[in-house]
């Protein structure tokens, strides 16, 4: 049985209106990631961090899945083996496009996390500084997203899937954020065929056996159609 492991990044959601991070004009050229995406930034100014994620949560709610999200859901439905989707994205566009069991390694905008007791719950649209946890009542509610300097979620499961992959595909990732940027090496070491689908070559493009460049809404459905014709 063949297993396809897919890693997706901001590039797959860009055409749905969610900004990318490291491109020219991307989010990290507009706000300092140190201010809004680190535990230290949250400790310094929780109101600013909550406002940033409130804004992104609203944008994510308004966004609609594009042809790339839908194509991956189709692959998951019709491929005779396993199709595992691992995403760095905190939006829910894979699920909205019909995908199942998506592994959100960087958390989810739609969820809240207590920094005190670890309780998780559905985030309200607006969160404020000092918001209280419904389980322990500590004023420690934060977005359930993984910040720089924090350990991504589900790493054991992800490495387990990479060790069993026969095909590994990275879609719309910059290749600049670890550990995700090293997944291609893990998969290749396990014998997987590796493919990068991206608007522009990533920082780790030379690690892939095959690269296809173009808009996600075009290259992803084309690749999926090809896989399903095999
Ligand atoms: Zn709590």
Note down pLDDT in tens along the chain; length 230 residues: 699 999 999 999 999 988 777 777 777 777 888 899 999 999 999 999 999 999 999 989 999 999 999 999 999 999 999 999 999 999 999 999 999 999 999 999 999 999 999 999 999 999 999 999 999 999 999 999 999 999 999 999 999 999 999 999 999 999 998 999 999 999 999 999 999 999 999 999 999 999 999 999 999 999 999 999 98
Q: Confirm if 105 and 155 have CB atoms less than 8 A apart.
A: yes
| Residue 38 labeled ligand binder | no
- Pair (194, 227) in one structural domain: yes
The catalytic residue positions are 106
- Pair (132, 157) in one structural domain: no
The reported pLDDT for the residue numbered 189 is 97
- Pair (11, 115) in one structural domain: no
- Pair (165, 93) in one structural domain: yes
Task: State how far the Cα of 175 lies from the Cα of 26, in Å rounded to an integer.
Answer: 15
Task: State how far the Cα of 204 lies from the Cα of 182, in Å rounded to an integer.
Answer: 8
d(CA 114, ligand 1 centre) in Å: 5
CA 167 vs CA 11, 13, 60: distances in Å? 20, 22, 29
Domain boundary among 145, 167, 202: 145
* Domain assignment of residue 178, given as a range: 1-18+65-106+152-230
Which H/E stretch holds residue 64?
none
Q: What backbone phi and psi angles, to 5 degrees, belong to 220?
A: -70, -50
- Pair (115, 32) in one structural domain: yes
The reported pLDDT for the residue numbered 192 is 98
d(CA 142, ligand 1 centre) in Å: 10
d(CA 134, ligand 1 centre) in Å: 7
CATH of the domain at 83: 3.40.50.1220
- Starting at the edge strand that comes first in sequence, how are the strands of the sheet with 3-8 ordered? 103-104, 82-87, 3-8, 167-171, 193-198, 210-213
d(CA 139, ligand 1 centre) in Å: 8
- Pair (194, 156) in one structural domain: yes
d(CA 110, ligand 1 centre) in Å: 17
| Residue 132 labeled ligand binder | no
The reported pLDDT for the residue numbered 212 is 98
Q: Confirm if 193 and 168 have CB atoms less than 8 A apart.
A: yes
Cα dihedral 199/38/84/228 (nearest 10): -10
- Pair (42, 86) in one structural domain: no
Burial 211-228 (b: 16+ CB within 10 A, else e): ebeebbbebbbebbeebe
- Strands 107-114, 120-122: pairing is antiparallel
| Residue 89 labeled ligand binder | yes
Domain boundary among 93, 120, 145: 145
- Pair (122, 47) in one structural domain: yes
- Pair (99, 123) in one structural domain: no
Task: State how far the Cα of 183 lies from the Cα of 7, in Å rounded to an integer.
Answer: 8
The reported pLDDT for the residue numbered 158 is 98
- Which residues, 6+ apart, have CB-to-CB distance to 138 below 8 Å? 114, 115, 116, 117, 132
The reported pLDDT for the residue numbered 31 is 82
| Residue 45 labeled ligand binder | no
How many domains in the chain?
2
Task: State how far the Cα of 90 lies from the Cα of 146, in Å rounded to an integer.
Answer: 9
- Pair (14, 35) in one structural domain: no
d(CA 120, ligand 1 centre) in Å: 8
The reported pLDDT for the residue numbered 95 is 98
- Pair (58, 77) in one structural domain: no
Give the residue among 206, 198, 199, 201 at the shortest CA–CA distance from 170: 198
| Residue 172 labeled ligand binder | yes
Domain boundary among 124, 145, 166: 145
The reported pLDDT for the residue numbered 222 is 98
CATH of the domain at 132: 3.30.1600.10
| Residue 216 labeled ligand binder | yes
- Pair (41, 74) in one structural domain: no
């Amino acid at each position: 049985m063949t297993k396809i492991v897919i890693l997706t990044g901001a590039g797959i959601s860009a055409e749905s209106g969610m900004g990318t991070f490291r491109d020219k004009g991307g989010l990290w050229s507009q706000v300092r990631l140190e201010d809004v995406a680190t535990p230290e930034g949250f400790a310094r100014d929780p109101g600013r961090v909550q406002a940033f994620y409130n804004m992104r949560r609203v944008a994510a709610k308004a966004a609609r899945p594009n042809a790339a999200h839908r194509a991956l859901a189709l692959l998951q439905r019709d491929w005779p083996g396993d199709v595992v989707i691992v995403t760095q994205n905190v939006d829910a566009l894979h699920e909205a496009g019909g995908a199942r069991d998506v592994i959100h390694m960087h958390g989810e905008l739609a969820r809240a996390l207590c920094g005190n007791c670890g309780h998780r719950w559905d985030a309200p649209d607006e969160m404020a500084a000092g918001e209280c946890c419904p389980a322990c009542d500590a004023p420690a509610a934060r977005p359930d997203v993984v910040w720089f300097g924090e350990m991504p979620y589900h790493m054991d499961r992800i490495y387990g899937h990479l060790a069993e992959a026969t095909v590994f595909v990275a879609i719309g990732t910059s290749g600049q954020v670890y550990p995700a940027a090293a997944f291609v090496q893990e998969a290749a070491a396990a014998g997987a065929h590796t493919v990068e689908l991206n608007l522009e070559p990533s920082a780790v493009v030379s690690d892939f056996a095959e690269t296809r460049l173009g808009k996600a809404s075009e290259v992803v459905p084309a690749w999926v159609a090809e896989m399903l014709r095999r």
